[in-house]
Amino acid sequence: MPNLLSKRKRGLLDHRGLWLLALPALVVVVLMQYMPLPGLIIAFKNYNYGLGPWKSSWSGFSNFTYLFTTGVAARITYNTIKWNFLFIVLSHSLAMLVALLMNELSRRSIKIYQTIFFFPYFLSWVIAAYLGFALLSGDRGIINTLLTRMGRDTVIWYAQPDAWRVILPLAYLWKHFGYIAIIYFTALIGLDPQLFEAADIEGANRIQKVFRISIPQLKQLVVILVMIDIGRIFRSDFGLFFQFTRNSSTLYPVTDVIDTYVYRALLTLGDPGMAAAAGLYQSVVALVLVLLSNKLITKLDEESRVF
């Protein structure tokens, strides 16, 4: 035991520079992720603002019972999983395709495309919501103006749930796929050029090099990025579903997810207990999904597992 402790101390001293570098991130994680954990007790209480979380009366699982018996949990869970699964598939597929195409371009033109694809990622959903409203507004929106000039009737887009089954994926891809594409492209330009030189000697064409070299070499990176997204699958992009849709109640059957429900439960309904219950449910299911995904990946390819 003393030898083990001395080895750990020696390891800490040898890597003190790395620990100092990681210290700010560790502090943020402790403050933002671990210190709020005792607040989960609110999910099991009838919260009283005057008494605070510790003196409020216990409610047991009544908040969870209401959440599941009213059908709200089924709707927001279905929408959350459906949209995030679709976003993962579409964004990574498109990002991979764009990264492979960019890898075939000259280095001078790549800078232009990088800027075009990456720029929307830096825009907040508040700004994106105003851009979307400029397109979809019922009276002065660009799309309705074009429809009017073509002799067509205008459409109240914020009252058409079916239309948002297409609008939401397009908005998400516009904002996010460029960021993922840059990550894939960075990995592609870091591949050993000797692999492609050997393929040229063997007479491989571009398509064969993509499927035999580029994509297989990106497999580990794809697994890591997808696992990260799966870990966030129950934490939807709040700005997309709340700001971009302008919180239209007509669209709730399509756009209502766990994050927006928690927000409304806390601010609109004024029920911290219900909001905490939905948030706890969200976190537990997300953890289960990550563990199951990693176990599945381990069975398919043990070297590709994350942990």
Q: What is the pLDDT of residues 159-207, one digit of tens each?
A: 999 999 999 999 999 999 999 999 999 899 888 888 888 888 888 888 8
pLDDT of amino acid 174: 94
Question: Contact 161/250 with Cβ under 8 angstroms?
Answer: yes
pLDDT of amino acid 6: 65
- Domain-located, residue 248: yes
With 90 as the cut, is the pLDDT of residue 77 above it? no
Coil, helix or strand at residue 45? strand
Best mean pLDDT range from 27-41, 105-119, 258-272, 289-303: 27-41
With 60 as the cut, is the pLDDT of residue 263 above it? yes
56: which DSSP letter? S
CATH number of the domain within which 116 lies: 1.10.3720.10
Give the chain's domain count. 1
pTM score > 0.85 for this model?
no
Q: What percent of the chain has pLDDT over 70?
A: 93
- For the record, the structure tokens of 182 come out as 């840059």
pLDDT, tens digit, for every residue of 14-63? 777 888 888 999 999 999 888 888 888 888 988 887 888 888 888 888 88
CA atoms in the 13 A half-sphere facing the CB of 297: 19
H or E element: which one contains 284?
helix 272-300
pLDDT of amino acid 262: 78
What mean pLDDT do residues 293-305 have? 71
In this structure, which amino acid lies at residue 121?
Answer: Y
Mean residue pLDDT of the chain comes to: 84
- Domain-located, residue 179: yes
- Domain-located, residue 235: yes
- Domain-located, residue 2: no
Residue indicated by tokens 């309705």: 144
With 60 as the cut, is the pLDDT of residue 8 above it? yes
Provide the residue range defining the domain that includes 132: 70-304
pLDDT of amino acid 230: 78
With 70 as the cut, is the pLDDT of residue 307 above it? no
- Domain-located, residue 19: no
- Dist CA 55 CA 48 (whole Å): 8
The alpha-carbon radius of gyration of the chain (Å, integer) is 24
What mean pLDDT do residues 143-158 have? 89
- Domain-located, residue 274: yes
- Domain-located, residue 185: yes
With 70 as the cut, is the pLDDT of residue 303 above it? no
- Domain-located, residue 11: no
